[in-house]
Structure 1
Amino acid sequence: MYDRWSELEGGTHPVLKNILTRWNQLVHKDGVREQRLHRFLETHAHLFFREYGFATIVTKLRFGADFVSDFVAVHDLRSEGILYTLIEIERADSAPFTKEGHASARLSRAIQQVLSWKTWLVGHPAESAKLFPSLLRRLEHPVFRYQIIIGTRANTDAWTDRRNILAESLGISIRSFDSFADRLKESFVFDDLSDIHNEERLFSPEQRNRLACPFFAALSDGQWRELLGKKPASASFICEYGEKLLQLRRENRFARRFRAGD
């Protein structure tokens, strides 16, 4: 008997509604520090970071001398290679633009941080390849994308067009914290079994069901490095690392609630 993760689609399942309610309360409460938002996202990483389907999420990944990405979302795009989205989060109560329409100090710092990441990745290909493997032999480098999460719809709406133009010019996605709940309710697909090419011959249905579980916390920096401990032999992320992922990943308490029918 499999866990029916597909019941979560549409955002009406009681467990998912509970999580979304808690998230919205946190996002729209004044004075909530970045660390609290980070802890919530870290706990529910596999719910909130699934824009391209099945993902592996890493929290506080360190690279270079002193860089730390709040989150890295790892998606296997099959023939397109591995996509790494490096994410910087700010505060929800911090408007990304001033009343005059200028980028706020907090947004400006976040942009400079992400641009520094880009510069390091380009300038240190050997070190980058160890931490962000491509897996596909015909693609020397993986695909990198960058995202800044700042503000809410309420403190951003007046400048949404300007934000989007800025984001496009920089090659950095800039989104509000409300976007997490929107996508979770309206866009994300939940499969009962993980659906990655060729994995059915490597994993049992029970393992594929566990891999598809959305109630996992993010991997730590140390767990990610442990996962990458051996040289990859497969072009598929999940085929290469799926068994180890099942050992390393930690379910949050909402997995038990889902199974209990709460």
Structure 2
Amino acid sequence: MTKTILISGATAGFGAATARRFIAAGWRVIGTGRRADRLDTLKAELGERFHGAAFDITDEAAMTAALAALPADFAKIDVLLNNAGLALGTKPAPQTKLSDWKTMIGTNVTGLVTLTHHLLPGLIERRGAIVNIASVASNWPYAGGNVYGGTKAFVRQFSLGLRSDLQGTGVRVTSIEPGLCESEFTLVRNGGDKAAYDALYGGTDPLQPQDIADTVFWVATLPAHVNINSLEIMPVSQSFAGFQIHRKA
């Protein structure tokens, strides 16, 4: 029987790469995102086993309508990949915009839990899986990470809490926590500044979206009795920073 995965934030980066990975393996894929044109492009590339559902994950009414309108072949979802998320800015907390903080919380936290809550009954019925994209920022603070890191720490802890609450249902829950990975995410974070993008990744041999897609596929297709609770992934070039120390003049 062909299985179905719903991927939020499928219009670029991890989401688009994961859609391609699952389609290649014969799955049906529901890809969500705000940009309908990109979903249409993916549909043209991936064919009839891909269904695009265009909505903003912070708009619960649009989300509910899109889920209710899923074609019959896509209505029974086996795996939820909560991938939609963003970071805005790299400045220290006193220099940030409150609106950016609220946007990150609305997308990375509220949108994620809303979509999860909507799909939980079906995932329980089908003994499915939930894979949440967190970040190394879930575990390791860094300057400028402030609210972004806080939202990803929530995603990690929410994953562990779900795992506990779903004990006995057969539903598997995983938090995947990537480090430095080259994707459009960094352009968004830096307001489209390509020079900042190039400076971050130059000479680093970073992770690629395909690496995360392969990891999600591995987690989702493990035997039903195996659960990966959390998985932190970094490129070999990245390691742990030292503690900051401020010295008096």
User: Same fold by TM-score, threshold 0.5 exceeded?
Assistant: no
Q: What TM-score, normalized by structure 2, do the two folds share? A: 0.31
TM-score, normalization: structure 1?
Answer: 0.30
